[in-house]
Amino acid sequence: MSFHLSAWSIKKPVPTIVLFLILGIFGLVSFFRLGIDSNPNIDIPAVMVTVTQPGAGPTELETQVTKKIEDSVAGLGNIDELTSTVTEGSSTTTVSFVLGTDSDRATNDVRNAVAQIRQDLPQDVNEPIVKRLEFAGGSIMTYAVASETRSVEQLSDLVDRTISRALLNVPGVAQIDRLGGVDREIRVDLDPSRLQAYGITATQVNDQIRNLNIDLPGGRGNVGGSEQNIRTLGSAETVAELRSYRIVLPNGATVPLSSLGEVEDSFAEQRQAASLNGESVVAFSVRRSTGSTLVTVEEGVREAVTELEKTLPDDVTLALIFTRADAIRDSYQATIDALVLACILTVIAVGLFLRDWRVTLITATALPLSIIPTFGVMKLLGYTLNGMTLLALALAVGNLVDDAICMIENIDQHLDMGKKPFNAALDASREIGLAVVATTATIVAVFIPVAFMGGVPGQFFQPFGVTVAVSTMFSTLVACTMTPMLSAYWLKSKRNREQETSKKRIHPYRNLLTWALRHRITTLLIALAFFIGSLQLVPLIPKGLFDSGDTGLSTVMVELPPGSTLSETEEIMQQLNQSLQENLAVDKVFTTADNINSGTVYANLLPKDEREVSQQEFEQEMRQVFRTIPGARISFQSQGAGGGGKDLSIVLKSENAPVLTQTAETLEKQMRDIPGLVEVTSSTSLVKPEIVIQPDPERAADLGVSVGAIARTASLALIGDNESNLAKFDLADRQIPIRVQLNPDTRADISTLKNLQVPSQTGNLVPISAVADIRLGSGPAQIDRFDRNRQVSVEANLEGISLGDALETVKALPAMNPLPPDVAEEPAGDAKIMQDIFTRFATALGAAILSIYAILVLLYSNFLYPFGILVALPLSIGGALLGLLVTQKELGLFALIGIVLLMGLVTKNAILLVDFALAGIKEGKPQFKAVVEAGVSRLRPILMTSVSTIAGMMPIALELGADGEVRSPMAIAVIGGFTTSTLLTLVVVPVLFTYVDNLYRWMRGLFGGKKKQVQL
């Protein structure tokens, strides 16, 4: 088909030109509409079930709530994993579904499953909240809100009601989180001594306020001949009016609410804080929705903030603290630069070989005509301009000119024979057409199984593979239409003298090939030894997922012992802020205490060209400083694909909690002794101090006091009622809660708790100490569960050791060999993805080789000749591994993708050799002569394609631009593998071909004469 298409394009050039004009315009328009992101979208469909019960301990919640929720959803289909986190007052279960599951249907299924067991949950828990995880990853950007005249409460309200509402309208914004600040509420702080004197409890006061301070509908009336709505308005209009509310005492008398304690318009107990460079601020962060592109969302938020600032009061300013989009834009620009530079280097390499500006220009047109239409297909498929798709184009640059090189080099040889350019183009395109189609088919065949391997790895491989395959198909279209058409009309006729110089130039190769064909066993043994030797390099190469790169933003996780106060957490944060700001690489530091005993610090580094250290070196320096700060666990957050807090995560699960805890503590201790593992922590280590109220059944029964009454009295008096049950105070534009509780100053004395009055069934009040024993105790601060088992995570960051090596070392520790019978290990984080990648990759690569074989069989109608081509594949592995070993790059995701690309590229050279050898034999030449002439005639195009491919990958291999260190393993693997395979292919493939051809001839003779062929 290809040569007919070429002849048509040569004879009718106008339709060809129009076709590529249309494709070019379509591609350019699509390019400017493509979103920019760091990686392909690997958002996993997940549904979160949250159940809250203020004041409840993790142990009780696990038994009464979490296990029941897990059991109810466990039977749903397509569940990948089930994780739960139980903390004080909150149980959160996340149901992660396999990729491709309809998230709306999954959410409804989970909601229905939870609704069916609602009656089995404790009655006083808040209604379970079932929602789809809308946001992808962490915050993408953070702003600080500042004003010289407004209070923290006013700024908090501005963020909650004005800024959040405006920004949630931006497409792709899923959630706005306020950091720091306070929540406004009316506080009724009761005095315990006055309550005791008046004989009333905090619960009774709370119930009366709820019943009094409320507006309710009262039906309809028909007074005066018209219909009226009836409303009952009991809400206090001012705080002063609320203070004067009359509270009915048990003896029937009434007293104003102000007689029982203080009533004031204030704010809730502060449980979070934020600061910028040590100064307290109110800030907000933006999370993007699943499926959206980060840079597009970030640009939309910036525009919305600019518009918002025009409407905000003049004294309010919004300052951008950090954005993750800058690193992505830098990486995008670096990849575009690498793509352009690769094109230039490729054209230069071709020009040096061809030494004819017309031929070089015709070859160079293949690049834009292949790349630009690919953007159109990417838009149709919903891809973005991310690291994988752009890298695919940058790495494929050398490959994209291969077909054009093969075509024009063959035309050049026909011109050397003295033909006119028009005839040379016609004859050459007919001669090489099948080889060009075959080489493209192998590239596509490699990526068909790899692109659809599924799972998280498939989300990375698919856009890369499809982009390479599509651009390669366009390059073949160019080579079969534009290249011969332009050659027919642009090139000039030649004299025959070039043949002599050509023969002289390739004379050493002819001698080498002749020697190899006369010493075939020796040649094949050398090749076999090289392949076996290359496999021995695998244990010496570091293995991992991928380098996290230099994003310019380091995230520090801080955790204080359970029971710590917010002021203690803020003090540690200030020390961290001071230490970080003393480092010359730091631009600004934003700290947020997002919980009362934990927080996050964002260190925004100076641009790479303005600092002397890389992000990795900066983090190594700061780890030494962090060790001098006592009283907290401080560690850098991993930037890996697993989304965990640390680089390495070992997850152990069991239903036997004591054995699980003991195993985890032993493993943690042994992991601390492994060089290269830093910031080793275990999720079992911390317990939270508790005050335990132990009711005495006999005394409680005698006095008619129930356990429920004791718990409700203590809970309401100390932290107030459930959020949904709180009375509301009406403002002009909203409602704020009225929280009734004991004065916080009295909670520091345990005697306050002991003297709390509990109502008995007879109506009398008795102190808690009369019906229960109160003692100090401790319990787990947090319980983690995985697939309905208790789980403990032992985590560590890596410093100077690869993920694969660290995992191998940990698994060899005595604590892991063997694990106790009822304890199991569960792959997690980056290690799980790495294991998944290597497993799926091996299967996909096997399928890719079978696909190549199938296509070659179809092209040659022969089952044997493809083996002569496939021998090139193992010869490329050695060079790829050698390149990674020399440069000490990890054998990870990017290197594996490079090896996949390599499979397709090296097959192309072998096809050219075999195709021309078969053509020579078909013409009646002896096998030896046909093979030698095929090698000699194809030497120049093979060397040209190899050099152009290597030249195109040099910018990426040299780590030029932002994130260069992340992408380089891919290019290094291809360059190393392509170099060795090209050198060996030129010798080994012809030798093996002679064996295959001899076998084919023997079998043909065996099964019925010369004309019978082994066909499909």
Q: 709 with 590, same domain?
A: no
> Domain span at residue 717?
184-218+230-267+688-780
Share of the chain above pLDDT 90, in %: 5
Asked whether residue 42 carries a pLDDT value surpassing 70, the answer given is no
- Torsion 992-993-997-1003 (CA) sign: positive
Q: 109 with 199, same domain?
A: no
Q: How confident is the model at residue 630 (pLDDT cuts 50, 70, 90)?
A: confident
Asked whether residue 2 carries a pLDDT value surpassing 60, the answer given is no
Please choose, from the candidates 636, 632, 641, 633, the residue with its C-alpha nearest in 3D space to the C-alpha of residue 620. 636
Asked whether residue 1015 carries a pLDDT value surpassing 70, the answer given is no
149 domain residue, yes or no: no
117 domain residue, yes or no: yes
How large is the greatest C-alpha to C-alpha distance in the chain, in angstroms?
123
209-217 contacts at long range (C-beta below 8 A, 24 or more positions apart): 209/245, 209/257, 209/727, 209/738, 209/740, 210/725, 210/726, 210/727, 212/245, 213/242, 213/245, 213/727, 213/728, 213/729, 213/738, 214/727, 214/728, 215/730
Which amino acid, residue 819? L
Distance CA 966, CA 956 (A): 9
Query: At 246, which CATH number?
Result: 3.30.2090.10
Question: Taking a C-beta distance cutoff of 8 angstroms, is the pair 392, 898 a contact?
Answer: no
Q: Mean per-residue pLDDT for 710-724?
A: 71
Q: Mean per-residue pLDDT for 545-565?
A: 78
121 domain residue, yes or no: yes
Asked whether residue 936 carries a pLDDT value surpassing 90, the answer given is no
Residue 782's beta-bridge partner residues? 87
Final residue of a structural domain among 757, 780, 803: 780
Q: 770 with 904, same domain?
A: no
Tokens representing residue 160 in the block: 């909650």
Which of the residue ranges 57-71, 272-286, 556-570, 730-744 would you say has the lowest mean pLDDT? 730-744
In sequence order, what are the residues at sequence separation of 6 or more whose Cβ sits closer than 8 angstroms to the Cβ of residue 915? 432, 434, 435, 438
In sequence order, what are the residues at sequence separation of 6 or more whose Cβ sits closer than 8 angstroms to the Cβ of residue 234? 212, 213, 214, 215, 216
649-689 residue pLDDT tens: 888 888 888 888 888 888 888 888 888 888 888 877 567 77
Distance CA 373, CA 371 (A): 6
Asked whether residue 492 carries a pLDDT value surpassing 90, the answer given is no
- The whole-chain average pLDDT of the chain stands at 81
Q: 437 with 473, same domain?
A: yes
Q: Comparing 644 with 317, which gets the higher pLDDT?
A: 317
Q: 732 with 612, same domain?
A: no
301 domain residue, yes or no: no
Asked whether residue 40 carries a pLDDT value surpassing 80, the answer given is no
SS3 track for 674-711: CCCEEEEEECCCCEEEEEEEEECHHHHHHHCCCHHHHH
Q: 899 with 982, same domain?
A: yes
Distance CA 190, CA 263 (A): 9
Distance CA 176, CA 163 (A): 9
Share of the chain above pLDDT 70, in %: 94
Please report, for residues 381, 774, 850, 918, 919, the alpha-carbon distance to residue 857 in angstroms, rounded to integers and kept in the order given: 30, 83, 10, 14, 16
Distance CA 335, CA 661 (A): 47
Asked whether residue 867 carries a pLDDT value surpassing 70, the answer given is yes
In sequence order, what are the residues at sequence separation of 6 or more whose Cβ sits closer than 8 angstroms to the Cβ of residue 266? 184, 185, 186, 187
According to DSSP, the β-strands at 735-742 and 184-190 are parallel
Give the per-residue pLDDT at 913. Answer: 82
Asked whether residue 15 carries a pLDDT value surpassing 50, the answer given is yes
Give the per-residue pLDDT at 1012. Answer: 42
Give the per-residue pLDDT at 277. Answer: 84
Give the per-residue pLDDT at 722. Answer: 64
Query: At 372, which CATH number?
Result: 1.20.1640.10
630 domain residue, yes or no: yes
130 domain residue, yes or no: yes
Q: Mean per-residue pLDDT for 160-180?
A: 88
Q: 28 with 87, same domain?
A: no
Please choose, from the candidates 534, 583, 538, the residue with its C-alpha nearest in 3D space to the C-alpha of residue 873. 534
844-858 residue pLDDT tens: 888 888 888 888 888
96-123 residue pLDDT tens: 888 778 888 888 999 999 999 988 888 8
Highest mean pLDDT among 363-377, 429-443, 960-974: 363-377
978-1003 residue pLDDT tens: 888 888 778 888 888 888 888 888 88
Helix (H) or strand (E) holding 1004: helix 964-1006
Question: Taking a C-beta distance cutoff of 8 angstroms, is the pair 893, 460 a contact?
Answer: yes
Please choose, from the candidates 10, 156, 919, 1001, the residue with its C-alpha nearest in 3D space to the C-alpha of residue 489. 10
Q: 868 with 923, same domain?
A: yes
Q: 434 with 517, same domain?
A: no
Q: Mean per-residue pLDDT for 4-10?
A: 78
Angle formed by the axes of helices 2-11 and 482-490, to 10°?
40
Helices (H) and strands (E) in the chain, counts: 36, 31
Asked whether residue 504 carries a pLDDT value surpassing 70, the answer given is no
Q: Comparing 374 with 942, which gets the higher pLDDT?
A: 374
Asked whether residue 796 carries a pLDDT value surpassing 70, the answer given is yes
Final residue of a structural domain among 95, 114, 134: 134
Q: 681 φ, ψ to 5°?
A: -140, 160
Question: Taking a C-beta distance cutoff of 8 angstroms, is the pair 676, 653 a contact?
Answer: no
Distance CA 834, CA 857 (A): 34
End-to-end CA distance of the chain: 19
Q: Is 261 helix (H, G, I), strand (E, B) or coil?
A: strand
Residue 64 is classified by DSSP as: I
Asked whether residue 840 carries a pLDDT value surpassing 70, the answer given is yes
Which amino acid, residue 834? M
Distance CA 384, CA 292 (A): 10
Tokens representing residue 794 in the block: 């032992």
Distance CA 146, CA 54 (A): 33
Please choose, from the candidates 555, 540, 666, 510, the residue with its C-alpha nearest in 3D space to the C-alpha of residue 327. 555
Distance CA 1006, CA 785 (A): 67
Q: How confident is the model at residue 389 (pLDDT cuts 50, 70, 90)?
A: confident
Q: 937 with 994, same domain?
A: yes
680 domain residue, yes or no: no
Helix (H) or strand (E) holding 556: strand 553-559
Q: Mean per-residue pLDDT for 701-708?
A: 77
Angle formed by the axes of helices 421-451 and 2-11, to 10°?
130
Q: 411 with 530, same domain?
A: no
Question: Taking a C-beta distance cutoff of 8 angstroms, is the pair 235, 729 a contact?
Answer: yes
Which of the residue ranges 91-100, 503-512, 788-797 would you say has the lowest mean pLDDT? 503-512
Q: Mean per-residue pLDDT for 52-73?
A: 87
* Ramachandran region, residue 677 (left: φ > 0; alpha: ψ -120 to 50; beta: rest): beta
Q: 534 φ, ψ to 5°?
A: -65, -35
Count of domains observed in the chain: 5
Q: How confident is the model at residue 66 (pLDDT cuts 50, 70, 90)?
A: very high
Give the per-residue pLDDT at 500. Answer: 46
Final residue of a structural domain among 614, 634, 654: 634
141 domain residue, yes or no: no
Q: Compute the CA torsion angle 880, 882, 883, 884 (nearest 10 deg).
A: 90
In sequence order, what are the residues at sequence separation of 6 or more whose Cβ sits closer than 8 angstroms to the Cβ of residue 683? 664, 782, 784, 792, 793, 794, 795
Sheet strands (E) in 205-315: 215-221, 228-233, 246-248, 254-256, 261-267, 273-276, 279-280, 282-288
134-149 residue pLDDT tens: 666 678 888 988 888 8
Q: 94 with 59, same domain?
A: yes
In sequence order, what are the residues at sequence separation of 6 or more whose Cβ sits closer than 8 angstroms to the Cβ of residue 451? 458, 461, 462, 464, 465, 466, 469
Residue 163 is classified by DSSP as: I
752-762 residue pLDDT tens: 777 778 877 77
pTM of the model: 0.75
Question: Taking a C-beta distance cutoff of 8 angstroms, is the pair 297, 228 a contact?
Answer: no
Question: Taking a C-beta distance cutoff of 8 angstroms, is the pair 348, 165 a contact?
Answer: no
Distance CA 968, CA 58 (A): 47
